[in-house]
Amino acid sequence: MARLLSNQATAFLLLICYVGSSMGSVHFSDLKETLIVTASPKSGQVLYAGEDKITVTWKLNSSLPASTDAAYEKVKVKLCYAPVSQKDRGWRKTEDNLKKDKTCQFKITNQPYAGGGSFEYTVDRSVPTATYFVRAYVVDASDTELAYGQTTDAKKTTNLFDVVGITGHHASLDIAAGCFSAFSVVALLFFFVMEKKKAKK
Ligand X SMILES: *[C@@H]1O[C@H](CO)[C@@H](O)[C@H](O)[C@H]1NC(C)=O
Nearer to ligand X, 61 or 129 (CB): 61
d(CA 50, CA 47) in angstroms, rounded, equals 9
Q: Which of 31, 36, 119, 131 binds ligand X (CB under 6 A)?
A: 36
Nearer to ligand X, 33 or 140 (CB): 33
Nearer to ligand X, 50 or 117 (CB): 117
Q: How far is the CB of 65 from ligand X (least distance, A)?
A: 10
Q: How far is the CB of 101 from ligand X (least distance, A)?
A: 22
Residue (of 87, 159, 162, 112) closest to 132 by Cα position = 162
Q: How far is the CB of 76 from ligand X (least distance, A)?
A: 19
Q: Does 31 bind ligand X (CB under 6 A)?
A: no
Nearer to ligand X, 40 or 86 (CB): 40
Nearer to ligand X, 153 or 174 (CB): 153
Q: How far is the CB of 61 from ligand X (least distance, A)?
A: 4
Which residues within the stretch 51-70 sit at the binding site for ligand X (CB under 6 A)? Answer: 61, 63-64
Residues that bind ligand X (CB under 6 A): 36, 61, 63-64
